[in-house]
């Protein structure tokens, strides 16, 4: 296992289209997080999973966003009816413990909505 | 409102000098504070974690201090090298929401030869 993997690395989509991103965490990590990062800003929390359970969602996560982690392994983040404001880097991270531990981030998916 | 502020968006220093980055926060009571490095187009990479009851932590050329009275963390890179050039992110972890990280905007460090 070489770390957290995110696919695709880049996605360009037209406004109004749906997009889905995938994150494969480190295999023994039970916590999985999604963050969003725009240019010049730090990552902002979107949601997280403990195994397959989604435990918290940020207010940033509008109804157009949905995330799943069906078997407690990989996760998907879907954005419906994309808007230009959704353009950002979407980062996935996983941790071995519930807290007080380093987060391992993937390389991110760069979304551009045109 | 809650804020995490990192000193100046950019810091330029000469190779061999010590880089000092600042992270100040308001209206947070973090249980832990972490520092990450981020290179352009890549995800953050963990560097150090310090607990609220720890004053200082070191790892090779890196040193972090944590002052809960001043609500400040300092991050030092000694004997800096051009390869240290990157954006450094401060992240807080609250006891009530362990695991969830609250990030500052980052400081872009450039080390010139």
CB neighbour burial string for A31-54, b if at least 16 within 10 angstroms, e if fewer:
bbbbbbbeeeebbbbbbbbeeeeb
Does A70 lie at the interface with B, CB-CB under 8 angstroms?
no
Question: Cis bond leading into A52, ω under 30°?
Answer: no
Interchain pair A100, B91: CB under 8 A:
no
Tens digit of pLDDT for each residue in A14-41? Answer: 999 999 999 999 998 999 999 999 999 9
| Rg over CA atoms, chain B | 13
Supply angle C-alpha B84, B85, B89, rounded to 5: 90
Q: Are B109 and B87 in contact (CB under 8 A)?
A: yes
Contact state of A56 with B91 under an 8 Å Cβ cutoff: no
Encode pLDDT of B22-72 as tens digits. Answer: 999 998 888 899 999 999 999 999 999 999 999 999 999 999 999 999 999
pLDDT confidence of residue B7:
79
CB-CB contact of B35 with B47 (8 Å): yes
Residue-level pLDDT at A1: 52
| Residue A23 to chain B, least CA–CA distance (Å) | 13
Closest approach of A98 to chain B, Cα-based (Å): 6
**Region B78-98 average pLDDT:** 94
Closest CA to B74 of B92, B60, B86, B56: B56
A5 in contact with B at a CB cutoff of 8 Å? no
Nearest residue of B to residue A41, measured between CA atoms: B105
Q: Any bridge partners for residue B46, and if so which?
A: B36
Q: Helices (DSSP H) in A5-110: which residue ranges?
A: none
Per-residue pLDDT of chain A (114 residues; tens, 9 = 90+): 579 999 999 999 999 999 999 999 999 899 999 999 999 999 999 999 999 999 999 988 889 999 999 988 999 999 999 999 999 999 999 999 888 889 999 999 999 999
Q: How far apart are CA B64 and CA B10, in angstroms?
A: 19
Closest by Cβ to B105, choosing from A33, A42, A105: A42
């Amino acid at each position: 296992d070489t770390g957290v993997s995110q696919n695709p690395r880049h996605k360009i989509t037209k406004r109004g289209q749906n997009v889905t991103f995938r994150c494969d965490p480190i295999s023994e990590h039970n916590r999985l997080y999604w963050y969003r990062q725009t240019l010049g800003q730090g990552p902002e929390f979107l949601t997280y999973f403990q195994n397959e359970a989604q435990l918290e969602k940020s207010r940033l996560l509008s109804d157009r966003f949905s995330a799943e982690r069906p078997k407690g392994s990989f996760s998907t983040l879907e954005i419906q009816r994309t808007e230009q404001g959704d353009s950002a880097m979407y980062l996935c991270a996983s941790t071995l413990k519930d807290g007080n531990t380093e987060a391992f981030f993937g390389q991110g998916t760069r979304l551009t909505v045109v | 409102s809650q804020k995490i502020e990192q000193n100046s968006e950019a810091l330029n220093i000469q190779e061999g000098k010590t880089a000092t980055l600042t992270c100040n926060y308001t209206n947070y009571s973090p249980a832990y504070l972490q520092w990450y490095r981020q290179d352009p187009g890549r995800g953050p990479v963990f560097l150090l974690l310090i607990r609220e009851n720890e004053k200082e932590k070191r790892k090779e050329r890196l040193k972090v201090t944590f002052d809960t009275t001043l609500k400040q963390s300092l991050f030092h890179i000694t004997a800096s090298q051009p390869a240290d050039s990157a954006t450094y992110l401060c992240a807080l972890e609250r006891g009530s929401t362990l695991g969830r990280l609250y990030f500052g905007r980052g400081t872009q460090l450039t080390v010139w030869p």
